Structure 1
């Protein structure tokens, strides 16, 4: 194939990286303890506050999104202490596994995959577990395309428990409204490779005052992921360990792009892409995993049918040049997932839907040409 290097990356992370960000990352290297690097660390941390919806410091770690999840656990819950983990998919399950590995007494609130956790379900679960130290939530469950109502869930925790509210925002921060302070979230984490339009390699942890107090008193062992060390060094405009400097150059450029578009416009674009995607997929007769009321603006999960194999469709899309993601765990082979976040716009959605029509035709399925694209264009026309 003459254009093997040319394809459309429509997975829910890593997402495409803008040329502007790539060029920024190619800047000459600087010293990690230089005044220029200190300025970069401090400015990036401050500018991330609006993305998280907080006045608190945003700590920057050289690591993946999972390192942020681990840091949130390791710094707050000691062995033997109780933690509630709301599991609505593979990444809620990952939070539970991390907490279990660190010796916490984990109480899993398992929700059927494809559904969101309701405030009532969490309230009932908490009332019978009065000694919980922390409640771990997933904002956007990347494995199912569900957006959990973390504002309402955090309110339930605050009303019925003294537990910390700790949220995985890896595939939500930067793509949907996040209001850490207003929602009463104590720790909010994300990674660089999703809506923030960077390669994998940076983790971000926003820490509120209640969590800082717990972290200062925590006795569980940690070294590289010691959030107290990151907090102390950020106050000195640096990091405790060598920062990922090229990623910081890229982060500065990505934050420039978000500022220029305006966060409200960024969020509106993501919601539009979600609505276009869902309308187009429905026009093809393919079922969606999540209901509209809980659908995420950043990722859409599509079910296969008795006659349309999800894996076969995913592979045919790859042959055309469009890369989507498979399902995870027990949904592997049953769904495929479309990422529409970060450096992505409505034209990208139309390309995806046109390719999906072609892929279905190549698989011998009846297709009404243009139906998916027309449905998405109708949504777009109403903006």
Structure 2
């Protein structure tokens, strides 16, 4: 008898029963008081999770849609921007900006490294034409989290804006949008927000709105002012037909996060990352990034010599119904990535580690004591029980 697959991936992530129940309701019309009340509540709760006083715009789109929107709303063709990349999604920002005719200065770091913020600041100071800086907060392709606070605080009092891809981090890793001075933050519904794919969210600072006024890139669906104007009406709605069912789902997901407590949620994700890193250590496996930069929402582990890590992943998926992911781009076949974000707990992780051990054994990797990783994780969980 097969059970539903346990999604230990960088997204989509498992859904709480309350979120699933919300999506099972009969559809309602989006130009009604009933929907307006739901959408207004979502907007207020999004501000809390984004840690901003500014409105958060909602799009029926993937996170990539919000990334594209963040390029076309603030710049004009030929404007110079700096894009800092530490992986696949940083590279995506580069491609988006080039698509719309922006003059892109690229600062790339090897996969597994994080951005050196001092180096980034030096580039900004030596290129006065830079109008905006794009950076990924948490790079799921390599399992690293960029230390963006210093960069945000530096740019806060300059004539440049900071645009951050927080698609996989928002709600799971602390990002103090207003306090740090992040001008534009983009995220998606299907990761730490514990909801299905299909919605994208963008917060916009007052400084960024001044950039919007000067932007000459063409936009229609992605025009931020259309969405902002609709949020300023007494009955909040969207300029185009919204994904009503998904907004209902996010409404419930946000409530669960805020009831649990944002800080508690950060701590929970950090603990799950610690347990996964501990398991890797007991299996004599090496993390791709340095431990101090390893993500709280996904752990990237190098394939040991002589092991077909893609076969390990397939065994976990097809035999044990636990879906983890492999490497992307140049990391394909070189790493395995275990997600631990959103509606995932310690016991989901314990099961994942057990099956990881079994899959490694099946492909012939024997450089560990069977059960040692699982035992170490269980002992760490028991400490929490005892305390």
- After TM superposition, the score normalised by the length of structure 1 is 0.96
The residue correspondences of 1:40-119 to structure 2 (distance < 5 A) are 40-119=38-117
Residue matched to 1:219: 216
Which residue number in structure 2 is paired with residue 349 of structure 1? Answer: 349
Q: How does 1:1-383 map to 2 (within 5 A)?
A: 2-3=1-2, 6-158=4-156, 161-236=158-233, 237-318=236-317, 319-366=319-366, 367-383=368-384
**CA contact under 8 A between 2:272 and 2:340: conserved in structure 1?**
yes
- How many angstroms apart in 2 are the aligned matches of 1:44 and 1:174? 14
* Structure 1: unaligned runs, 5 residues or longer: none
- State the Cα deviation string for residues 222-281 of structure 1 (Å, max 9, x = none): 000111111011112111100110011111111121122111111111000000000001
Q: How much has 1:321 moved relative to structure 2?
A: 1.6
CA distance in structure 1 between the partners assigned to 2:119 and 2:215 by the alignment: 30
Could you tell me how far apart the structure 1 residues matched to 2:244 and 2:155 are?
38
In the TM superposition, what is the alpha-carbon distance from 1:156 to its structure 2 partner? 3.1
How many residue pairs match? The answer is 380
For residue 137 of structure 1, give the secondary structure of its aligned residue in structure 2.
strand
Q: Give the superposition deviation at 1:155.
A: 2.2
In 2, Cα distance between equivalents of 1:212 and 1:38? 25
Q: Give the conservation status (yes or no) of the 8 Å contact 2:307–2:364.
A: no
RMSD: 1.3
How far apart, in 1, do the equivalents of 2:129 and 2:35 lie? 43
Whole-Å Cα distance in 1 between the matches of residues 353 and 106 of structure 2? 37
Structure 1 segments (4+ residues) deviating >4 Å? none
1:382: Cα distance to partner? 4.3
- Asked whether the equivalents of residues 280 and 353 of structure 1 are also in contact (C-alpha less than 8 Å), the reply is yes
Distance 1:382 1:142 in 2: 29
Residue 165 (structure 1) shift: 0.5
The separation in 2 between residues aligned to 1:361 and 1:108, in whole angstroms, is 42
Shift of 1:381: 4.0
Q: Deviations over 1:22-56 (max 9, x none)?
A: 11011111111111112222210111111111111
How far 1:378 sits from its partner (Å)? 3.6
Tell me how far apart the structure 2 counterparts of residues 114 and 379 of structure 1 sit (CA, whole Å): 27
How far 1:307 sits from its partner (Å)?
2.3
Report Cα offsets for 1:46-86 as digits up to 9, x if no partner: 11111111111111111111111011011012110000000
Contact 2:156 2:182 (C-alpha < 8 Å) held by counterparts? no
In 2, the alpha carbon distance for the partners of 1:317 and 1:32 equals 42
1:205 and 1:330 mapped to 2: Cα distance?
A: 30
Tell me the secondary structure at the aligned position of residue 106 of structure 2: strand
Provide the secondary structure at the position in 2 that maps to 1:29: coil
